[in-house]
């Protein structure tokens, strides 16, 4: 029996309507007694603006828009989809899953649908799982979505976190292939780096929310851990694929902080000119970060057919991972 692989045949993304630049955010926070500035945010994070979900916009709606965009890009009808994986930390409800709600909205009548939660590393985890399931031969076409509305779980009185995050969704269509598209993937986690490093500790019991319902982060610890974990993961996935850093044509890291991204690229040995940067426009969109940046790069022809693309992310858990892809599609003009 011939070897089955998977390849990316379409990308898509979606953002809320409202773009909030640093000065506007600083002015709004000032009304709450929180002092910050455009210069303070830019020099520490590289972020210039972010998109914040309007009242009434749901995680599922953002996921639907990104998925439909990816389906159009791939030229695939929803009826062909037999697997949906949604990576999210901010579902609209405890259950059913965002993936099942998305399946209903898209009109996909067959296959499996489930959510996966690895926070900012969620899309990398979801893409790796979709690739593995397609390689079994059971599934033929998958939608993989990363989507989060982080603005609803940040503490707007905590300057160290509230300036970092934005909302959005990104998606890819993955298809079974007789030639490799996804070349290698590495997933890792260290549960000892727990919610005291990065977490949101709230839980529901007896109809009441218990614990702290907001994102809390030890920024310096996360910075150090992100740099070391992603650089090591990159080297491991390149070794798995039998490639070297010189073979990388395009680098799509988690768009959390420009300083982290630059430090990782430097440690891996990747030319910064190969690095896709959207953190300045989107902020940290958690699970949406990598697919948003990937779709942006594809639509601006920053990724070309036969390019070797390295995608990476790290999130709470702590969990992290890398996926190495050979770009097999022609980008739509």
Q: How far is CA 168 from CA 76, 163, 239, 265, 292, in A?
A: 22, 15, 33, 24, 8
Structure tokens at 289: 């970060």
At which residue do the structure tokens 């790796």 appear? 128
Beta-carbon contacts of residue 176 (< 8 Å; ≥ 6 apart) = 4, 5, 6, 134, 137, 139, 140, 141
Alpha-helical regions (H) of the chain = 22-30, 38-45, 59-74, 98-106, 122-135, 159-162, 219-241, 258-268, 279-282, 289-299
For 314: left if phi > 0, alpha if psi spans -120 to 50, otherwise beta; the answer is: beta
Q: Which DSSP string do the residues of 260-281 spell out, in sequence order?
A: HHHHHHHHHT--GGGB---HHH
Q: Which of 120, 162, 200, 250 is catalytic?
A: 120
Active site residue 210: no
Active site residue 22: no
Q: Which of 22, 129, 257, 284 is catalytic?
A: 284
The CA-based diameter of the chain, rounded to the nearest angstrom, is 66
Answer for the pair 289, 120: CB distance below 8 angstroms, yes or no. yes
Active site residue 250: no
Q: Which of 22, 200, 250, 254 is catalytic?
A: 254
Answer for the pair 287, 323: CB distance below 8 angstroms, yes or no. no
Q: Which of 229, 177, 221 is CA-nearest to residue 198? A: 221
Active-site residue list: 120, 254, 284
């Amino acid at each position: 029996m011939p070897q089955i692989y998977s390849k990316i045949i379409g990308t898509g993304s979606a953002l809320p309507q409202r773009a909030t630049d640093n000065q506007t955010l600083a002015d709004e926070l000032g009304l709450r007694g929180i002092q910050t500035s455009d210069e303070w945010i830019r020099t520490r994070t590289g972020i210039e603006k972010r998109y914040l979900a309007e009242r009434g916009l749901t995680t599922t709606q953002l996921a639907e828009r990104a998925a439909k965009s990816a389906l159009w890009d791939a030229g695939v009808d929803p009826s062909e989809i037999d697997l949906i994986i949604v990576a999210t930390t901010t579902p609209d409800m405890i259950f059913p899953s965002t993936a099942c709600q998305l399946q209903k909205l898209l009109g996909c009548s067959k296959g499996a649908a489930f959510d996966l939660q690895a926070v900012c590393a969620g899309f990398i985890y979801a893409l790796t799982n979709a690739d593995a399931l397609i390689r079994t031969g059971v599934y033929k076409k998958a939608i993989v979505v990363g989507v989060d509305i982080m603005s609803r779980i940040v503490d707007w009185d905590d300057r160290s976190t509230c300036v970092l995050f934005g909302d959005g969704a990104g998606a890819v269509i993955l298809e079974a292939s007789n030639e490799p598209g996804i070349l290698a993937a590495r997933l890792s986690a260290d549960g000892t780096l727990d919610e005291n490093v990065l977490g949101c500790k709230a839980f529901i019991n007896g109809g009441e929310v218990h614990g702290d319902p907001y994102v809390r982060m030890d920024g310096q610890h996360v910075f150090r851990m992100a740099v070391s974990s992603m650089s090591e993961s990159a080297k491991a996935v390149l070794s798995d694929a039998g490639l070297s850093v010189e073979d990388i044509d395009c680098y799509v890291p988690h768009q959390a902080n420009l300083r982290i991204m630059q430090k990782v690229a430097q440690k891996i040995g990747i030319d910064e000119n190969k690095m896709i940067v959207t953190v300045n426009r989107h902020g940290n969109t958690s699970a949406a970060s990598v697919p948003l940046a990937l779709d942006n790069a594809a639509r601006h022809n920053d990724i070309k057919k036969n390019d070797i693309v390295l995608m990476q992310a790290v999130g709470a858990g702590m969990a992290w991972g890398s996926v190495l892809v050979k770009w097999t599609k022609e980008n739509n003009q």
